[in-house]
Structure 1
Amino acid sequence: MTKIKVNGALLAYNEVGSGSPVLLLHAGIADRRMWREQVDALVTRHRVITLDLRGYGESELPATAFAHHDDVAGLLDALNLDSAALIGCSFGGAVAIDTALAHPDRVSALALLGAAVSGHDWSEQTNDLWETLVGDLDPEDFAATAAGEVRFWVVGPEREPADVDPQLIAFATAMDERALAAELALSAVDVAELDPPAIGRLGELRMPVLTGAGAADVPDIRKLADRIAAEAPRATRLPDIPDAAHLLPLERPTPVNTALLDFLPH
């Protein structure tokens, strides 16, 4: 692990390999460890960088205003990279899209796995599913909140916890407890959003885009993958990956890695 100063914050990252650069951006319920199944596959062809976004994992959170998408561009500056392919899952996918819109010359390609999109309003169906599966939680009870979020996102609404590898559930829960502490701290900092948000600007994504989701993920996420594919001019929709929910790179690494290697520029 290395730390580097980016826009006034020390950000933690790992870097291995050589070749065309690829930067992986983690889900909001995780940190850079979620990419452990992708690094060895991608390093055969790429310079692979896994980042803890500001406040998450081992990255710092100074009490100053910032934007995640500007941090991504700042990391590329700090590493003397003109551009990189961005791979993002969930919230990391939203950050990747925002970076591609705010700094289009810095992003050579986008691979979006279960990606959120800034400005998207969750549907009533998704809100109802949350109430049914999780209900009200005390945001300061990290253990209970992590258990609820893992039930909703990692297991998914169409499966039962017994259907999912218990080691995956344990790892995801540990990452999420740490991420919840990060989100509580981030709530006290001025985090700038992309303005206007990405949801109405997907047609501006001119680089190659791969978008996909787990077949067991919440319906809104699968619909967002459809929308990205329909509106981004150079987008390809990966078929939903069977028996995978929101952390599909961890849960089903083989089809994810195959798709990424087929898509990413050499």
Structure 2
Amino acid sequence: MTELNVNGARLAYDDRGTGTPVVLLHAGIADRRMWREQVDALAARHRVIALDLRGYGESELPPTPFANHQDVVGLLDALGLDRAALVGCSFGGAVAVDTALAHPDRVTALALLGSAVSGHEWSDEFHDLWDMLIGDVDPDDLDANAAAEVRFWVVGPARRPEDVDPALIAFAHELDRRALAAEQALSAVDGVDLDPPAIGRLGELRMPVLVTAGAADVPDINRLADRIAAEAPRAIRLPDIPDAAHLLPLERPAEVNAALLDFLP
């Protein structure tokens, strides 16, 4: 692990390999450890930087307003990197898109895996699925919330827990339990959102964009992947990866690594 002071916060990251730089941005239910199957594979050809976003993992959370997309650019500045490709999963994908919109000259390419998009409003179907699968959960019970989120996101609405590798479920629970604690702390700090948000600006993404999702993910995520691919001028929409849900890099590392190595500049 390496640390740097970025925009007044100590951010933790892993830095491996040489070559064209690639920054990996984790899901909101995880931290940089979710990229454990990608770092070495990509580092054979790239300089790979797996970042803990502010407040997550081993990165700190000073009580001052911040923007995740500005932290990404601040990290590039601190490392002396003019440009990098960004790979994001879920919330990390939304941060990657925001960074590319706010600083298009700093981003060479985007790879979006089950990506969220800032400004997107979840559908009634999404909320109904949560109510059907999960129901009410005590917001103060982090273990119960982690179990609920793993059931919803990592298993997915169309699969049963017994259909998924128990080791993946256990690791996802550990990641999400820590991420939920981070989110509690983050709720007390002002986050600065991209304005206007990305959902109405996908056509501004002029760099190459790779988009895919897990076929077993929640339908809103698959539809978002379709929308990004339809609106970003240079987007490539890979087919949804079969029998995989939201944490694609952990669940299907071989497919993800092959796609990234084929796409990244």
TM-score, normalising length: structure 1: 0.99
Contact conserved, 2:15 with 2:50, CA < 8 A, in 1?
Answer: yes
**Which residue in the other structure is 1:190 paired with?**
190
1:264, 1:38 → 2: CA distance? 13
**Which residue in the other structure is 2:47 paired with?**
47
Question: Aligned ranges for residues 49-68 of structure 1 at < 5 Å?
Answer: 49-68=49-68
**Which residue in the other structure is 2:205 paired with?**
205
1:138, 1:50 → 2: CA distance? 32
Shift of 1:139: 1.8
Q: Can you list the C-alpha shifts for 1:72-99, whole angstroms capped at 9, x where unaligned? A: 0000000000010000000000000000
Contact conserved, 2:3 with 2:11, CA < 8 A, in 1?
Answer: yes
**Which residue in the other structure is 2:257 paired with?**
257
2:194, 2:137 → 1: CA distance? 29
Could you tell me which runs of 5 or more consecutive residues in structure 2 were left unpaired when the two chains were aligned: none
2:188, 2:40 → 1: CA distance? 37
**Which residue in the other structure is 1:3 paired with?**
3
**Which residue in the other structure is 1:153 paired with?**
153
Q: Can you list the C-alpha shifts for 1:16-62, whole angstroms capped at 9, x where unaligned? A: 10000000000000000000011121011000000000000000000
Shift of 1:140: 1.6
Contact conserved, 2:15 with 2:47, CA < 8 A, in 1?
Answer: yes
2:202 aligned with 1:178, yes or no? no
Could you tell me which runs of 5 or more consecutive residues in structure 1 were left unpaired when the two chains were aligned: none
Shift of 1:136: 1.2
Aligned to 1:172, the other structure's residue is in SS state helix
**Which residue in the other structure is 2:233 paired with?**
233
Question: Aligned ranges for residues 77-116 of structure 1 at < 5 Å?
Answer: 77-116=77-116
**Which residue in the other structure is 1:18 paired with?**
18
1:168, 1:236 → 2: CA distance? 28
Give the aligned length: 265
1:188, 1:134 → 2: CA distance? 26
Aligned to 2:56, the other structure's residue is in SS state coil
Letter paired with 1:19: G
1:18, 1:40 → 2: CA distance? 11
TM-score, normalising length: structure 2: 1.00
2:90, 2:220 → 1: CA distance? 12
RMSD across aligned C-alpha pairs, in angstroms? 0.4
2:135 aligned with 1:142, yes or no? no
Aligned to 1:121, the other structure's residue is in SS state coil
Q: Once superposed, which parts of structure 1, at least 4 consecutive aligned residues long, lie more than 2 Å away?
A: none
2:189, 2:120 → 1: CA distance? 22
Letter paired with 1:190: D
Letter paired with 1:7: N
Letter paired with 2:119: G
**Which residue in the other structure is 2:244 paired with?**
244
Contact conserved, 2:16 with 2:40, CA < 8 A, in 1?
Answer: no
Letter paired with 1:10: R
